[in-house]
Structure 1
Amino acid sequence: MPDRPDPGIHIPRPSTLYCSPAGGGVTSVVWFREIEYMRGFAALAVIAVHISMNYTQIPTVNLLALLNLFIYIAAHFAVPVFVFISGWVLAARYAREYPVMTFYRRRARTILLPYLFFTALYLMVRVDGTIGFAGVPTPGRVVEALLLGTAAYHLWFFVLIIQLYLLYPLIALGYDRFDRAGTGLCLLLLLLIVQPLWNAGAHLVGGLAGPEWYTVLIRLFPSHLFYFVLGIHVARHTGQFRSTLRSLPTIGVLAAAGGGALVLGGMWVASALLLGSLTSTTLAVFCIYRLLEPFYYIPVIAVLVLAAWRLEGAIGRVSAAARSFGDYSYGIYLVHPLVIAAGASILFSLTGLSWADWLTYPVLFLAAAAVSYGVVRGASRVPYAGYLIGESRGSREPGNRSSSHLAERGDFEIDLPR
């Protein structure tokens, strides 16, 4: 009997958008609706990571601290999901021959101005825990922030995504050569081995030669190359990917993702309990975590695709809200640290709560998600604000004139997290 989707799962067909390329004329762009929902899921995970990471400010190893440590580790799938989406969208858009310099100009206009603006902003505004003025940075600090993305805890991803953008033509060319030879999956398997070894090696080098070496190595493109190439593979074989995922039992996919979260999160919780410390662990734990994490993130990607299918098949506000949240995920990613820090400052001053209180975390999570979305959606209506916070997909569709000045930018590939 042929494989059928689970009842209630609606598999969306790819839709075609149109945008004006830099050289004029009209270009068709294939867009997969799963991506809109997945970006929203990943953006929520980013917010969860950046709120739960304040477990380090809890003075004792208690249940609240351990729960937030677990969430902090389990929600780190956001980065691989965003990298996967970026590879998928780039490969879908640039499936045929294209002017390489036009590609680079579009990527530069998409990412460099927001990176420069928010680097300058976060160099002067402190967002670690609560909000405050960080002072005027020294020239050396500015150079470091630009090269390593250290102006704030989430900007390092710009350093990574810029490398992947620069190397995309070569990466796609290399993948296509393997794929034409029928060995695309072999390439993915090779990267699945090389990437964890690179990341574990970054911890080893950092532990032996100094943490600055880890800071550099973990930001280099091999640290996430597998997820990027996996996205390219899915773009080239979307039908096969969907068919394979349909054939898998949903309960098995959920069990694999849940089991991975329990193993990785449980490993860190056990380490904190054994060492009696929330801020220190052994080098072995770091390395084992890096070796195992892809086997958790791959099932999570599958779960998010299944969830996207179910939402796409649903009719109602939940589906529309999830799609809209993903639509504005780029801007949400950029501004949410400001919202979290400002929200924490207001909450603590008005209520006397702190990072050691249970109520702090769900309140700040809901507030950060809602306020970040509202701020970005409101700002998107301001002329030219899209150059800094990105544009929603809907604002670029034919007939929508609110952002026609950005129609030629080709911003569909913007997918950033921490």
Structure 2
Amino acid sequence: MVWFREVEYLRGFAALAVIAVHVSMNFNRIPEVNLLALVNVFVYVAAHFAVPVFVFISGWVLAARYFGDYSLWEFYRRRAKTILLPYLFFTALYLMVTVEGTIGFAGVPAPGRVVEALLLGTAAYHLWFFVLIIQLYLVFPLIARGYDRFDRGGAALFLLLALLFVQILWNAGAHLAGAFAGTEWYTVLIRLFPSHLLYFVLGIHAARHTERCGSALRSLPAAWVITAAGAGALLIGSMWASAVLRYGSISGATLAVFCIYRILEPFYYVPAIAALVLAAWRLEERGGRPAGALRSFGEHSYGIYLVHPLFIAAVAGLWASLTGLSWADWETYPAVFAAAVLASYTVVRVLSGVPYAGWLLGGSRVRRRPLQ
């Protein structure tokens, strides 16, 4: 398999964004809508490119590894080894340990709660991603085969454009179903793989046409790509900050706001992915400690994703006891973010050297060679 070092940087960016999302989401613990709340709403929404980046990477890496004839048994065996045991273990852990705001013990869950958590990834706020990625792993052989058929017919870009519309309709439809048929419909539909299928197939496309995609991206002025991504972040972040200012919370926004957001989000996330690839190239060319640190963070991003809510909650509790400051104070957010990043990385890196710890934390991503 050809391995692209750019992937490690992208994982690093995405892991940092995930932690930023899960720190900033505590704006809902601020008693009133003030400037601090609005700033964190903006960060919370703008950093949501993290999951699309992870999904894009998954499509890219799988398509680079599995092409042509390969054993389906071996494919599913490797995917199960990578994801099932960590998902089961951390679902059990987060069912008993609460990480909402501060850390605490939740007690022994009821059987119904266990089943719900396994099916929907609701044991903790971040585990829904595993429900999504398991589905994408299951259908990857079919998706890749379908993509290759379109690609051989010269219609790969048409497929991507069609998926853009399908994904927008699916996600907007999830909000409509939640509004008119019950919130449980939204909870289920937004976790099904069509909600992120565009980014997954875009990753497959990048793997199948690496040189062509790289040349096309390099031909664009970097300022244009960065401006497009920045404008998308500014538009979506400002839209939600305005909605919170108007309605008092994200959940209180009208159905129209949610649907407009679902229409706009791909036009932010795709340029954001392109901008991060450019940043990865620049870091790889320059090297140095910042590049090495981000690459190492990306190598351990799987384990960091799994454990970081524990450290956010634990650090928040410790911070409050030492300083008397809460989520309603400006200092809390950067302090908790920095401490959670450092603690998550340190613990995962140390544990990566422990025999069999990789079965639970996914192990580190091994570096091979850069994209030419």
State the TM-score bracket (shorter-chain normalisation).
over 0.9
- Percent of counterpart pairs with the same letter? 73
Contact 1:55 1:355 in 2 (8 A): yes
Q: Which piece of structure 1 moves more, 274-283 or 249-258?
A: 274-283
- Aligned residue in 1 for 2:15: 43
- Aligned residue in 2 for 1:327: 299
Using the alignment, how far apart are the partners of 1:384 and 1:77 within structure 2? 32
- Residues 278, 223 of structure 1: alpha-carbon distance in 2 compared, 3 angstrom cutoff: closer
How far did 1:272 drift?
A: 1.6
Using the alignment, how far apart are the partners of 2:230 and 2:100 within structure 1? 30
- Aligned residue in 2 for 1:210: 182
Using the alignment, how far apart are the partners of 1:263 and 1:315 within structure 2? 33
Using the alignment, how far apart are the partners of 1:356 and 1:278 within structure 2? 17
Q: Tell whether 2:141 aligns with 1:184.
A: no
Task: Encode CA deviations 1:52-84: one digit per residue, 9 max, x unaligned.
Answer: 000000011100000000000000000100000
Q: Tell whether 2:115 aligns with 1:143.
A: yes
Structure 1: give runs of 5+ residues left out of the alignment. 1-28, 398-418
Give matches, 1:5-404, under 5 Å. Answer: 29-277=1-249, 279-394=251-366
SS of the residue aligned with 2:2? Answer: strand
Task: Encode CA deviations 1:230-270: one digit per residue, 9 max, x unaligned.
Answer: 00000000001110101111111111001101111111111
SS of the residue aligned with 1:91? Answer: helix
Using the alignment, how far apart are the partners of 2:212 and 2:280 within structure 1? 17
Task: Encode CA deviations 1:93-132: one digit per residue, 9 max, x unaligned.
Answer: 0022101111011111111000000000000000011000
Using the alignment, how far apart are the partners of 2:5 and 2:63 within structure 1? 15
TM-score, reference length from structure 1: 0.87
Structure 2: give runs of 5+ residues left out of the alignment. none
Contact 1:34 1:309 in 2 (8 A): yes
How far did 1:319 drift?
A: 1.1
Task: Encode CA deviations 1:137-176: one digit per residue, 9 max, x unaligned.
Answer: 0000000000000000000111110100000000000000
Using the alignment, how far apart are the partners of 2:32 and 2:305 within structure 1? 30
Using the alignment, how far apart are the partners of 2:92 and 2:62 within structure 1? 28
Using the alignment, how far apart are the partners of 1:277 and 1:379 within structure 2? 39
- Residues 112, 248 of structure 1: alpha-carbon distance in 2 compared, 3 angstrom cutoff: same
Contact 1:144 1:150 in 2 (8 A): yes
Q: Which piece of structure 1 moves more, 93-102 or 35-44?
A: 93-102
Using the alignment, how far apart are the partners of 1:196 and 1:157 within structure 2? 19
Using the alignment, how far apart are the partners of 1:61 and 1:235 within structure 2? 44
What is the total number of aligned residue pairs between the two structures? 369
TM-score, reference length from structure 2: 0.98
Using the alignment, how far apart are the partners of 1:326 and 1:72 within structure 2? 21
Task: Encode CA deviations 1:393-417: one digit per residue, 9 max, x unaligned.
Answer: 34999xxxxxxxxxxxxxxxxxxxx
Using the alignment, how far apart are the partners of 1:64 and 1:246 within structure 2? 38
Using the alignment, how far apart are the partners of 1:104 and 1:225 within structure 2? 19
SS of the residue aligned with 1:101? Answer: helix
**Match for 2:261: what amino acid?**
Y
- Aligned residue in 2 for 1:400: none
- Residues 230, 396 of structure 1: alpha-carbon distance in 2 compared, 3 angstrom cutoff: closer
How far did 1:392 drift?
A: 1.2
How far did 1:280 drift?
A: 1.6
SS of the residue aligned with 1:191? Answer: helix
SS of the residue aligned with 2:328? Answer: coil
Using the alignment, how far apart are the partners of 2:92 and 2:152 within structure 1? 45
Using the alignment, how far apart are the partners of 2:21 and 2:367 within structure 1? 29
**Match for 1:222: what amino acid?**
P
Contact 1:56 1:279 in 2 (8 A): no
**Match for 1:58: what amino acid?**
I
Contact 2:5 2:368 in 1 (8 A): no
Using the alignment, how far apart are the partners of 1:255 and 1:45 within structure 2? 19
Contact 2:28 2:249 in 1 (8 A): no
- Residues 92, 396 of structure 1: alpha-carbon distance in 2 compared, 3 angstrom cutoff: closer
Runs of 4+ in structure 1 over 3 Å off: 276-279, 394-397
Using the alignment, how far apart are the partners of 2:86 and 2:245 within structure 1? 41
RMSD: 1.2
Using the alignment, how far apart are the partners of 1:396 and 1:383 within structure 2? 23
Using the alignment, how far apart are the partners of 1:140 and 1:381 within structure 2? 36
